[in-house]
Structure 1
Amino acid sequence: MNNIDDRLVFRRGLALKNRVVMAPMTTKMSFFDGVVTTDELQYYALRSGEVGAVITAAANVQANGKGWEGELGVYDDKFIPGLSKLSSAIKKNGTKAILQIFHGGRMTNSTVLRGESTVSPSAIPAERPGSETPRELADFEIVELIEDFKKATERAIKAGFDGVELHGANTYLIQQFFSPHSNRREDEWGGTMERRFKFINDLVDGVTEIVDDSEVSNFIVGYRFSPEEYENPGIRFADTLYLVDKLADKPLDYLHISLNDFNRVSVSDDFKEHSMLKYVHEKINGRVPLIGVGDVRTRTDAEEVLKNAEIVAVGRALIIDPHWTNKVLSGQEQLIRRELSQFDREELIIENGLWAFLEGMMPDRLI
């Protein structure tokens, strides 16, 4: 088993001082135009210094990829100065800064996009209330999208980040290409599972080539994925094992599963014996490090994750107590703050958007 305080070195040379990373979580703290705010810098700085790395909230690589108000932008060079401040705020006491990059696809709306239509591989709306029917991307737009992910990676390098994470989870655009629900195309970008993987394959190759052809040292590339969809048709766990098997052979530095419970079991009858985390870890079979996540609150939880992963991501526990990592590593778990009240918000730099997120995700821990 991996130990929580073990050092880890990725294939591109970047070293983590321990196996704890801050999970990427929506903060809604950026300005309306995607520029980093002072509150945002302070929020991340407060939670840096103890964890091995911080993975930021998602930053959109195209203007029409904005998923919500208060989201980071990385689709233009104008964002580099603010992103440089963000990476510097995170990179203290050896903590590494990883910028998560994404495109919202059909999981946004024309109001957020200021009247512009949403886009997706196919003109199929998401199965959620109020969903809009997206415009199907043209072939040349798909190629441009990959180029914009590459340009976003270049900006992350210029801004001083230590890596990027491709956000292929939570039903956003990268996942939409792999999903048989959102991708009904009959060209080279869709149809069979192999063709639905093409966008991801080309995207990973393009981004890793940008990194390897640059002069940057120790800059890593990770990929986050969700294991299942509930739509019919949708991604099933067997499909995800295919995806993981393919990605584990790519020049990535890590894979990152998206789960709200690290013990979660698949809805598929064929995969009920173990947690999805364990099945994925077995499929990877040591080819690339795996980040496990899902309601980690204690050292025992973290150690359970590390039985089936090389790294553990901690989310809400770090929002509640920014010093969770140090208290766990020093054997002082009794000092960890476990609940939040409105009176804690100023101290912990929790703005309205993040508070609303917490109200929906963890009402049992708000007092």
Structure 2
Amino acid sequence: MNFPLAVVKEVKQVAENSDKEDFIIGYRITPEEIHGENVGYRLGDAQQLIDRIVDFKIDYVHVSLFTKYDAESVGTNMPIGKTIKETVGDRAAVMIIAGIFSADDALDALNHGDLVAIGRSALIDPEFTLKIKEDRSDEIVLSIKKDRVDSLALPAGLIEWYTSEGVMLPPLPGIEYLEELKK
């Protein structure tokens, strides 16, 4: 834990010593990351680190999950986001991201944290949040569509990254239409 704690401490000091008063400081973590049988860390390890990090009075903890926002840790019946929220309490906000593709997903994800981050859903439908705000959630595009690929204006590098072999990200719904662009 020494390295991440030292980084958070330094970031807090730089923010406090600046002439700006509106810094928002967060810490993004994947709360479980296992490679092979014993390499990596489990949720309990992440909880210990997060507990120490929020003592620095950061504004939020960004919980990045590989599967879905309501995923459970191995051997538990408690969603990871809720577990982190219990660890953090009211000391910082908890931001959840993973597998949020609809307004219902976003609303349900708020049961697991205080804030919802969207990434892939905004790539698929750049008006995702606007449609929710304007009560048009039934118009949210949930998957990349063949007839909309060009209008998404995704950079070639991003398309290459998402469609490359061995990418360690969950696939975008409709990824096959991006793969056609590479041909």
User: TM-score scaled to structure 1, two decimals?
Assistant: 0.43
Asked if the contact 1:295/1:315 (under 8 Å) is kept, the reply is: no
- Equivalent residue for 2:26, pick from 222, 227, 242: 222
Aligned to 2:73: 266
Aligned to 1:245: 51
Q: Which amino acid aligns with 1:248?
A: V
Judging changes above 3 Å, is the alpha-carbon distance between structure 1 residues 363 and 317 closer, same or farther for their aligned structure 2 residues?
closer
Q: Which amino acid aligns with 1:263?
A: D
Unaligned runs of 5+ in 1: 1-196
RMSD of the alignment, in Å? 1.8
Of structures 1 and 2, the larger Rg is shown by 1
Displacement after TM superposition at 1:342 (Å): 5.8
Displacement after TM superposition at 1:339 (Å): 2.6
Aligned to 1:254: 60
Asked if the contact 2:101/2:121 (under 8 Å) is kept, the reply is: yes
Asked if the contact 1:345/1:351 (under 8 Å) is kept, the reply is: no
Judging changes above 3 Å, is the alpha-carbon distance between structure 1 residues 234 and 358 closer, same or farther for their aligned structure 2 residues?
closer
Displacement after TM superposition at 1:352 (Å): 2.1
Alignment pair present for 1:292 and 2:96: yes
Q: Which amino acid aligns with 1:326?
A: L
Aligned to 1:354: 158
Q: Summarize the alignment of residues 306-325 of structure 1 with structure 2, pairs less than 5 Å apart.
A: 306-325=110-129
Alignment pair present for 1:275 and 2:88: no
User: TM-score scaled to structure 2, two decimals?
Assistant: 0.83
In 2, distance between residues paired with 1:332 and 1:216?
Answer: 38
Displacement after TM superposition at 1:343 (Å): 5.3
In 2, distance between residues paired with 1:207 and 1:287?
Answer: 18
Asked if the contact 2:70/2:112 (under 8 Å) is kept, the reply is: no
Asked if the contact 2:144/2:173 (under 8 Å) is kept, the reply is: no
In 1, distance between residues paired with 2:160 and 2:83?
Answer: 33
Aligned to 2:181: none
SS of aligned partner of 2:58: coil
Q: Summarize the alignment of residues 164-179 of structure 1 with structure 2, pairs less than 5 Å apart.
A: none
Q: Which has the higher contact order (CA 8 A, sep 6+)?
A: 1
SS of aligned partner of 1:224: strand
Aligned to 2:105: 301
In 1, distance between residues paired with 2:97 and 2:173?
Answer: 19
In 2, distance between residues paired with 1:344 and 1:351?
Answer: 14
Q: Deviation per CA, 1:174-215, whole angstroms, max 9, x where unpaired?
A: xxxxxxxxxxxxxxxxxxxxxxx1111111111111111110
In 2, distance between residues paired with 1:203 and 1:363?
Answer: 32
Displacement after TM superposition at 1:315 (Å): 1.1
